[in-house]
Structure 1
Amino acid sequence: MLLAHTGGPFWARKDARAWSVPKGLVEPGESHEEAARREFVEEIGVPVPAGPLVELGAFRYTSGKTVVVLALEVPAELVGSAADPACEDLAQRPGVSTVEVTWPPRSGRVVVVPEVDRAVWWGYAEAREKLVAGQVPVVDALAAVIDR
């Protein structure tokens, strides 16, 4: 699974529960697939690899937020190639979206950081440990689709 690590100084030294599937808000008039493709480019800095997207389902967080997750199977030869969306330092990729955060908290100092700072391929077991709690069920949903 390709997971993205949340960017910014608060998350810099966190690993467990600091990762997420690339995601974002659906704009008016946009389908889930259109939003997923747009958000992927904004967060990861490269287009979604070619192939059909499969909806894994809607996952509700304890906060009440619901995330619809789509997935696609990428060819093995993509991993490690120049077109691989995985990247250890997304701040180096042109076009990656940034956010402004006040750091340190209550300091009044605003810093600009990438929305996500890196993207890494993880196996199911590692993904369960790394994902934010509300997205852990995504691992089982993906496994169910792949194991069909």
Structure 2
Amino acid sequence: MTQPKRYKRSAGLLLFRRSGDGAEAGVEVLLGHMGGPLWAGRDAGGWAIPKGEYGPEETPRDAARREFAEELGLPPPEGEYLPLGEVRLSSGKLVTVWAVEGDLDPALMVPGTFTMEWPPHSGTEREFPELDQVAWFRPTLARNKLMAGQLPFLERLLTLLAD
């Protein structure tokens, strides 16, 4: 009898702010560019919602807050957490995201790091930032930057804010 495949779970926070006024009024979202050599030089599809994996000992919302702090080196924002639901990525991973309104200066980010062998098969372990930069984007540009599997979260946020 085979065991069912257990997929990893991940949780994150999509920070948004309202910007401008009048005809320029709108929403901006904070996205992070994936760090490490595999994402270097990749802009379109190389940005993500700050998120990370968690285990059964942690609630998804607690994991989302922890991952925000780990990836950006800044405390997660306080405020109303708006559930954006779940999305199963093509890898099988189940991602849960909340939106929260807040503001932060991207220059204050102190990214968390990960270690990997680089170059491949070299035997050399190197440390890289999980996110090498964060930036604010209007939805039109965010759609081009964001990893395809995470686009539903942006669309859900925009629908929620329009209601």
TM band (smaller chain): 0.7 to 0.9
> Within 5 Å, which residues of 2 pair with 1:47-126?
47-74=75-102, 78=103, 84-87=104-107, 90=109, 93=110, 96-126=111-141
Match of 2:142 among 106, 112, 127: 127
Cα deviation for residue 73 of structure 1 reads 1.4
Partner Cα distance (2:115, 2:105) in 1: 24
Partner of residue 50, structure 2: 22
Q: Which amino acid aligns with 2:93?
A: K
Cα deviation for residue 85 of structure 1 reads 5.0
Partner Cα distance (1:28, 1:127) in 2: 32
> Within 5 Å, which residues of 2 pair with 1:130-145?
130-145=145-160
Which stretches in structure 2 are left out of the alignment for 5+ residues? Answer: 1-28
Cα deviation for residue 134 of structure 1 reads 0.5
The structure with the greater share of residues assigned to strand is 2
Partner of residue 10, structure 1: 38
Cα deviation for residue 8 of structure 1 reads 0.8
- Max radius of gyration: which structure? 2
Provide Cα deviations, 1:40-89, integer angstroms capped at 9, x if missing partner: 00001101122111110101111211100111112xxx3xxxxx15238x
Cα deviation for residue 102 of structure 1 reads 1.7
Q: 1:101, 1:110 within 8 Å by CA — same for their partners in 2?
A: yes
Partner Cα distance (1:67, 1:25) in 2: 9
Matched, 1:34 2:62: yes
Identical amino acids, percent of aligned pairs: 42
Q: 1:44, 1:85 within 8 Å by CA — same for their partners in 2?
A: no
Partner Cα distance (2:107, 2:93) in 1: 28
Partner Cα distance (1:101, 1:32) in 2: 26
- What is the root-mean-square deviation in Å for CA atoms of aligned residues? 1.6
Secondary structure in 2 matching 1:118: strand
Partner Cα distance (2:87, 2:43) in 1: 21
Which stretches in structure 1 are left out of the alignment for 5+ residues? Answer: 79-83
Q: What is the count of residue pairs matched by the alignment?
A: 135
